[in-house]
Amino acid sequence: MNKEEIEQAKHYYQILEENITELSVEEQGKPYRPCAIDCVKDFVYKELKRQFDECEGDLDLQYTKYGRSEYFFADIIEKGRVYEMGYPRCLCPTVISGFTKAPVHCECSRQSILYVLQKLLPDKEIEVETIETVLSGSEKCRFRVTVQ
């Protein structure tokens, strides 16, 4: 792609995301879900699954042991039920490459967390709430997770 084509693609992406912001919060997840899954299914999910299995399906143990890295953090708010997790900086290649700056794009991260936890805990109801994100002006991305 030449520079003009890249700028056209960025503009197209910006228009899409501006229109996504007009959808309900529930509907916003639908266009991001397939991309979120594609982003995490190979490496991220497999590594988190390895950790989860090593910790015998105990998220509290997993987050105590693996909940801090340069790429991810997880804090236990209420054992077995409520967690805060996220990223110390934006790690999204679409953001880093300059294709988007829209805060609604962080729905992709929310969907990726939801996907991974639904795969790890298929018999539980998982809720993921966005607390703050880099694209909304914060220094880090934080999500509140409730497991029921």
Residue 25's pLDDT is 86
Residue 4 phi/psi, 5° resolution?
A: -65, -40
Confidence at residue 147, expressed as pLDDT on a 0 to 100 scale = 98
pLDDT at residue number 1: 83
What is the predicted pLDDT for the residue at 26?
Answer: 87
Res 66: pLDDT: 96
For 79, phi then psi, to 5°, come to -45, 130
**pLDDT, position 3:** 92
pTM (2 d.p.): 0.93
CA–CA separation, 116 vs 13, rounded Å?
26
Please identify every stretch of the chain with a pLDDT value under 50, giving residue numbers as ranges: none
What pLDDT, on the 0 to 100 scale, is given for residue 107?
97
